[in-house]
């Protein structure tokens, strides 16, 4: 197959001649000398392998093949213009989509403010927020279903990550618990048979179970899926728990006390992760910056 090397300027020259039907006027429109313009038209016809124009002493007209080619060139120019208009819309955030996966605690505490600000500044961008545990969030990021994930985990080497915050843990108990009046406690002071936990699939549980004090503890109490359930159980005096700071809004109810764990090594990293091999869109980059700003506020 013959190699074809025709530029958008060549298309412009071809259409200029088709419209003016005059070499001199068409050359002037394209800011070329008549000889340079004639050579350009000759190269286009040579590349096409067919005559596109009928030339006479009075005027220039398209051949039947030239008429067909002119329609195709106009279509190509319209498609290119449409493509560039689409890029302009993306660049100015008039269209697009941004998807974020976030731990449920982050989704509840940080993301409402982030999404509200983002939508106010970018009303045409579709925002998708998935509140999910660390494992599913990373799977969504890996599969390209989200642009970024706000998560926590031990092994995030396959992703490009930024630590947003090292989150403290709190001991949550009822106000009649022996430790309820303490200003702070150590993890070893509070572990015991009445310790209740979130499910093993949660990043909170995975982080806590690596702590020496937890490994040496006797069998734990109830295990539940949701923080709201955990708060209700503690309120009924059925046990105690240790939870990270961002989850404390679940425990703001009568008779519950949240006491800081003073162990310095007990910190849960909240990480903003993105795929190493995929560049963020302009719209997603703005969302990325909004998340960082919220975490550092």
Do the Cβ atoms of 261 and 242 come closer than 8 Å? yes
Phi then psi for 258, rounded to 5 degrees?
A: -115, 120
Q: In terms of Cα–Cα distance, which of 74, 4, 93, 37 is closest to 290?
A: 93
pLDDT digits (tens, 9 = 90+) for 50-92: 888 988 767 789 998 888 988 888 888 877 777 776 666 555 5
Instruction: Give the pLDDT of residue 154.
Output: 66
- For residue 41, the 8-state DSSP code is H
Task: Count helices and strands (H / E) in the chain.
Answer: 12, 12
pLDDT digits (tens, 9 = 90+) for 1-50: 455 667 888 888 888 888 888 888 888 888 889 889 888 888 888 888 88
Instruction: Give the pLDDT of residue 155.
Output: 76
Global pTM value: 0.69
User: What residues have CB less than 8 Å from 32, skipping those under 6 apart?
Assistant: 13, 40
pLDDT digits (tens, 9 = 90+) for 203-228: 888 888 888 888 766 666 788 989 99
Distance between first and last Cα of the chain: 61
Pair of tokens at residue 294? 């919220």
CA distance 143 to 282: 20
Instruction: Give the pLDDT of residue 86.
Output: 67
Average pLDDT over residues 272-295: 91
Question: Cβ atoms within 10 A of the Cβ of 87, count?
Answer: 10
CA distance 271 to 255: 33
Instruction: Give the pLDDT of residue 85.
Output: 66
* Out of 86-90, 98-102, 246-250, least confident range: 86-90
Instruction: Give the pLDDT of residue 166.
Output: 93
pLDDT digits (tens, 9 = 90+) for 172-192: 999 999 999 999 999 999 888
pLDDT at 281 over 60: yes
* Run of H or E including 131: strand 126-131
CA distance 36 to 13: 11
CA distance 177 to 89: 59
Do the Cβ atoms of 195 and 237 come closer than 8 Å? no
pLDDT digits (tens, 9 = 90+) for 111-160: 999 999 999 988 888 899 999 988 899 999 999 999 999 998 767 889 99
Instruction: Give the pLDDT of residue 129.
Output: 96
């Amino acid at each position: 197959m013959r190699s074809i090397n025709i530029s958008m300027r060549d298309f412009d020259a071809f259409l200029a001649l088709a419209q003016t039907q005059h070499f001199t006027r068409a050359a002037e429109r394209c800011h070329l000398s008549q000889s340079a313009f004639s050579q350009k038209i000759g190269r286009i016809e040579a590349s096409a392998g067919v005559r596109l124009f009928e030339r006479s002493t009075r005027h220039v007209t398209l051949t039947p093949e030239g008429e067909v080619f002119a329609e195709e060139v106009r279509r190509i120019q319209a498609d290119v213009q449409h493509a560039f208009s689409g890029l302009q819309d993306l660049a100015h955030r008039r269209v697009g989509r941004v998807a974020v996966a976030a731990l449920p605690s982050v989704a509840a505490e940080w993301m409402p403010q982030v999404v509200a600000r983002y939508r106010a500044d970018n009303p045409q961008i579709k925002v998708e927020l998935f509140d999910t545990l660390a494992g599913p969030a990373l799977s969504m990021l890996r599969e390209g279903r989200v642009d970024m994930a706000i998560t926590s985990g031990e092994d995030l080497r396959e992703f490009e990550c930024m630590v947003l915050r090292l989150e403290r843990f709190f001991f949550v108990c009822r106000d009649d618990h022996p430790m309820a009046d303490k200003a702070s406690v150590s993890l070893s002071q509070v572990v015991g048979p009445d310790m209740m936990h979130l499910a093993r699939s949660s990043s909170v549980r995975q982080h806590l179970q690596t702590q020496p004090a937890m490994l040496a503890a006797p069998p734990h109490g109830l295990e539940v899926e949701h923080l709201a359930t955990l708060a209700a159980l503690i309120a009924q005096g059925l046990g105690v728990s240790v939870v990270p700071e961002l989850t404390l809004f679940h425990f703001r109810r009568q008779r519950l006390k949240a006491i800081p764990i003073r162990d310095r090594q007990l910190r849960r990293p909240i990480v903003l992760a993105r795929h190493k091999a995929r560049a963020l869109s302009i719209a997603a980059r703005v969302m990325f910056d909004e998340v960082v700003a919220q975490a550092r506020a």
